[in-house]
Chains A and B, each alone.
Chain A
Amino acid sequence: MNISYIILIPAIPLVVFLLLGIFNQRIKPSVSGYVGVFGLLASALMSIYAAYQYFFVSGNVDGVFQTFSQKTVWMNFTDSLHIDMGILIDPISVMMLIVVSVVSLMVHIYSRGYMKGDDGYTKFFAFLSLFTFSMFGLVLATNLFQIYIFWELVGVSSYLLIGYYYTKTSAIAAAKKAFVVTRFADFGFLIGILIVGYYTGTFDFETLNNPEGSAILNWASSSFMGLSALTWALILIFMGGAGKSAMFPLHIWLPDAMEGPTPVSALIHAATMVVAGIFLVARLFPMYYFVDNGFVLNIVTYVGAFSALFAAIIAITQTDIKRVLAFSTMSQLGYMMLALGVSGYDGHEGVGFMASMFHLFTHAMFKALLFLGAGSVIHAVHSNYLKDMGGLRKYMPITNTTFLIAALAISGVPPFAGFWSKDEILVAAFEQDKLIYFVGVFVAGLTAFYMFRIYFGIFWGKDNTYEHTPKESPLSMTFPLLVLAFLSMTVGFIPFSEFISPNKVGFEAHLNYPLAAVATVVGLIGIALAWVFYKKENSLADKWAIGFGMFYKWTSNKFYFDEIYMFVAKKIFFKRVSEPIAKFDRKYVDGTMVGIGNTTVGTSKKIKGLQSGRVQDYAFAFIAGAVVIGLVFIYFWT
């Protein structure tokens, strides 16, 4: 398969970014919007073509999906250890190309309406393109180092986009928080990469992931504190993934990141960047599975399951609709993680891996739709809070319908997309670990409940009186909603297991009717409860909140995690550790340095006289220098 054209998929957004970035002020906003949209349209079309080529024409040889790669050496350390730059084409990278390009294209189109009239319109599109470029680079990376480079680029563009409203203090703080927290996690990631490089002598995914390769076979060759070195490396790499994918306890940045413009939340904090952590684990899945017999996958499972439950509980109590969606994203990401964690490798055992990728795919569609729908609502009522909404179905019919479709999809109601992928996850969990399965089912119910809580709250509920009558958003915003709604209804029917599996051999997955029925019923119960509580304005919800008392308060304050972090950072770390060090630094280290500096400058002053400006002095120095050196070498150093 000829894959050389695929380099254009990331290259086009990069060119668009450079164009819009360099000619920022000189481009009319109307033009820059089109440049961004058409650039991404080209990338999206190529991605779809690449997927068609790969999955249906030349990717599958004798039932096994091939891996294609093209790379050049970028930096050479030793003969085997070098950093390459290139592109890697295999089922999951092709799938990610589709996810990133489609969602990004929709967000680009949507932003033309949403950001209209904003001062930094061109800048916004430039940043969007930078992000899309980085994300493409991340999914196409051929080795750990390349993925790390793009990983950080994604982080930077996310920082730029969260802090896009840079005059708002809260946006700046949120951008910083997101960057620092994910950077902290990336520190683990980097150490993990270096350990892998040191013990296996390669960064290359193909070499690392080969189940017959030396990296996997010799995993036990060196150990550290009871675990093998590679096990530690994988734990640290997972730490990086957990940071980006907002897994507990590194999740605290995600809710705050909602300070960015809503299209950004849809693109970065729902569909693409946050799944980078899932993608990373999936990318190294053979290593996770074989090294230490899958020990690290247990961690992945439990972190994922706990995050899913934890976030779903918090989501119920939030009043800012974007924050509800943020916690919902975290919860669904936990789902994907736990699916990876319970997955096997061969044949039908790989259903967890497949389900995780499947859910990643469907979730990208309906979560982007939810965010864009929320954006449409926010655009109409100029508020993020549920209390300012209600009864909007009359004013915004398209937004209402598409939001409902997305809510049904995420709640796992057949035949919408979320039903199919969630079912596969539950099947995988059921086969592996019953406890995880029950958590999954419970979270499914909670998901349906909080999702319909905001649905009813926004579009039904009390009939708010509005200062400005809300009206439906323009076509540039409703068109992406319609496209994504269509996708949210249909992508569930893709037979994912035939395309994506851990060992790259397709298998048949069947609907497990009893499990599917249980999940559906739980979901419907959640919806029904939401119906009772929120369909019409009533005091039932408040009474229950009072009934839960302290627990409700804790939950709505996100279990005080931000406060705990702040306490640890400020009261313990800053006060007990940083301050004494800072004092020592100022007094002794700085003092020494200042002393050295003063001596240097003093010497400089003293020797100034050597440069007299007279040629005869220079000549003397020249000859004297030559003669002295000559004599020294002849008489002392031979």
Chain B
Amino acid sequence: MDFSNFLLMRFEVILLAVILLLIIGEIFITQAKKDAVIHLAIFLFGIHTAVGFFNLDDGSLFGGMYRTNTLIQCFKSILNVGVLILLLQSGDWIQEKIMKHGRGTEFFVLLFSSLFGMYFMISSGDFLMFYLGLELSTLPVAGLAAYETTKRISSEAGIKLILSAAMASGTALMGISLLYATSGSIYFSDVITAISPDSLTILGFVLFFSGLAFKISLVPFHFWTADVYEGSPIAIASYLSVISKGAAVFILMILLFTVLKPLIGIWEKLLYIIAIATMFIGNLFALRQQNMKRFLAYSSIAQAGFILLGLIIGNQLGAATVIYFVLIYIFSNLAAFGVVQAISLQTGKELMSDYEGLYRTNPNLSLIMMLALFSLAGIPPVAGFFGKFFLFTAAASEGYYFLVFLAVVNVTISLYYYLLVVRAMFLRKSNNAIPYFKNKIYMRLGLLITVIGILILGIYSPLYEYIYELSINLQ
């Protein structure tokens, strides 16, 4: 393996360098100028994101344990953009709430480590690497969920996440062992040829699937979601709902479409049921939530149910629509979480009733929130409409009419609760509405990017065509 081969791992190498630089940087930055860590982290990660867009060769390393191609590079870049927006949106929060306790650097190191794990998970060429990536992507987040040590609810979130995650990855590992037992290899390339739908393989697959379903929070593996989102700092809830979920969808798609393709008869039915259950459970629970974080938690469960509509058809069209949907979902959800975070940071308020009359006092934030919710609900002309539209047409074109019908029913339900927030902001009057405040530059930038994304992504069609071309890699 020479150096140029080694550079196939460019994403991992640079991110590792960023992590190390931050750790070393902390030693040199004096206590008085601690805030510099934030700027440094955002700056370095910005460079990392930019570098990610440059051309990268296809190839594999370590005897096939690690592999990369343009599609995988695209996945990583999507995650990078999401994390960058997230960093921008949470920069002020770290500065005001976390830096005071002198614990800023760990936040970035943990967050980046988790992302580092996701890279390996997505790039994995065998089940071992996959499992290591899965663990590495989850464990630091448990630490982050419990980051606000002064809050009891935050510690509870951390404990709940780590316990649930441990069980999920244990189950997944059990599944992997069974798959190994039946196919005799942990390398994806060998498993493809050896796998067949016998009872033990099916059991192994179901257990393995539940481990990933946990990360995507599909029903019935979703119970942790609302509690953890509610207790965690908003930045982490946002990370879990957007980045973590996105990465898990990507790897699940890679595995289902390539390695586990011989089991399509099984997972097609499995996804069918789980999609229906997830959409309905997510939406029905979201209907009654008052806390914005819990509200977004259930909304993100329901969105995960929609994603399965694209996965289920198992071809290039399905892959492209899923990637496109996830990309749009990342922008929309980050916008929603960004607004919740801005308001929570300034006023500490997180309830839907606190948002009443927001339009009169903070028109810009209300408009952004409205755009985000419209996009999540799928109202034209914002991006979310196109994401859902393509997803549904793809599923309908393969004959899943009933599933699409149920999805449309669910869109209607979701429209109701998204509009509840819009109503609170725009139509309700309140005497103690959140007073006007101005966001700092990072937050404004973070929100601006999401708004541009929501407005542009749906209309700029070459993007979808590009994704469609890339998806050929999954055939």
Contact = CB atoms under 8 A, between A and B. Distances in A.
Contacts of B214: 622
A564 interface: no
- Secondary structure at the A interface, as helix, strand, loop or mixed, is helix
A611 B223 contact: yes
Given A615-B163, A634-B199, A605 B288 contact: yes
Interface stretch (A313-321, A346-354, A625-633): A625-633
B218 to A, nearest CB: 10
A622 B269 contact: no
A622 B266 contact: no
B206 A633 contact: yes
A622 B270 contact: no
A601 B288 CA distance: 8
A152 to B, nearest CB: 13
A621 interface: yes
Given A75-B461, A603-B284, A608-B288, A634 B202 contact: yes
Nearest to A630: B206
A595 to B, nearest CB: 14
Given A615-B163, A629-B270, A638-B199, A622 B223 contact: yes
Contact of B202 (A76, A608, A630): A630
A626 B270 contact: no
A622 B210 contact: yes
A615 B164 contact: yes
A629 B284 contact: no
A513 interface: no
A154 to B, nearest CB: 18
B301 to A, nearest CB: 11
Interface in B47-77: none
A637 B288 CA distance: 36
Contacts of B206: 626, 629-630, 633
B413 interface: yes
B203 to A, nearest CB: 5
B287 A600 contact: yes
A604 B285 CA distance: 6
Contact of B224 (A618, A629, A633): A618
Interface residues of B, number: 34
A600 B286 CA distance: 11
Interface string A72-103: 01111000000000000000000000000000
Contacts of B159: 615
A550 interface: no
Nearest to A633: B202
Interface string A581-606: 00000000000000001001101110
A535 B350 CA distance: 76
A617 interface: yes
Nearest to A626: B210
B184 interface: no
A624 B206 CA distance: 12
A60 B183 CA distance: 73
Q: Which of B163, B207, B223 is packed against the most chain A CB atoms within 10 Å?
A: B223
A623 interface: yes
B257 to A, nearest CB: 19
Contacts of B465: 76
Contacts of B288: 601, 604-605, 608
A607 B203 contact: no
Interface string B222-257: 011011000000000000000000000000000000
B463 interface: no
Given A613-B227, A626-B210, A638 B163 contact: no
A629 B219 CA distance: 12
A600 B285 CA distance: 10
A619 interface: yes
B122 interface: no
B197 interface: yes
A630 B273 CA distance: 13
- Secondary structure at the B interface, as helix, strand, loop or mixed, is helix
B279 to A, nearest CB: 13
Interface string B302-335: 0000000000000000000000000000000000
B22 to A, nearest CB: 33
B202 A611 contact: no
B453 to A, nearest CB: 19
Contacts of B224: 615, 618
Nearest to A597: B416
B435 interface: no
B270 A633 contact: yes
B171 interface: yes
B160 interface: yes
B163 A619 contact: yes
B220 interface: yes
Nearest to B281: A607
Contacts of A621: 220, 223
B221 interface: yes
B19 interface: no
Contact of A600 (B197, B199, B226, B413): B413
Contacts of B413: 600
Contacts of B284: 600, 603-604, 607
Contact of A622 (B164, B197, B199): B164
B167 interface: yes
B168 interface: yes
A613 B416 CA distance: 26
A611 B226 contact: yes
A630 B203 contact: yes
Given A600-B284, A613-B227, A638-B197, A622 B160 contact: no
A611 B229 CA distance: 14
Given A75-B461, A600-B413, A630-B207, A611 B285 contact: yes
Given A600-B284, A600-B287, A604-B285, A625 B221 contact: yes
Contact of A633 (B160, B266, B281, B285): B266
Contacts of A75: 461
Nearest to B224: A618
Contact of B223 (A74, A601, A618): A618
A467 B168 CA distance: 88
B162 to A, nearest CB: 10
Q: Which of A613, A617, A630 is packed against the most chain B CB atoms within 10 Å?
A: A630
Contacts of B210: 622, 625-626, 629
A622 B270 CA distance: 15
A79 to B, nearest CB: 14
Contacts of B207: 626, 630
B199 to A, nearest CB: 5
Contacts of A603: 284
Contacts of B203: 630, 634
Contact of A607 (B160, B171, B266, B285): B285
B222 to A, nearest CB: 9
Nearest to B203: A630
Interface string B253-272: 00000000000001001100
Contact of B171 (A600, A605, A623, A637): A623
Interface in B136-194: 159-160, 163-164, 167-168, 171
Contacts of B220: 621-622, 624-625
B407 to A, nearest CB: 15
A73 B202 CA distance: 46
A597 B461 CA distance: 36
B315 to A, nearest CB: 18
22 contacts: A74-B461, A76-B465, A597-B416, A600-B284, A600-B287, A600-B413, A601-B287, A601-B288, A604-B284, A611-B226, A615-B159, A615-B164, A617-B223, A619-B164, A622-B223, A625-B221, A629-B210, A630-B203, A633-B202, A633-B269, A634-B199, A637-B269
Interface of A: 73-76, 597, 600-601, 603-605, 607-608, 611, 613, 615, 617-619, 621-626, 629-630, 633-634, 637-638
Given A76-B461, A633-B266, A633-B269, 14 more contacts: A604-B288, A611-B223, A615-B160, A618-B160, A626-B171, A626-B206, A626-B207, A626-B221, A629-B206, A630-B202, A633-B270, A634-B202, A634-B203, A638-B197
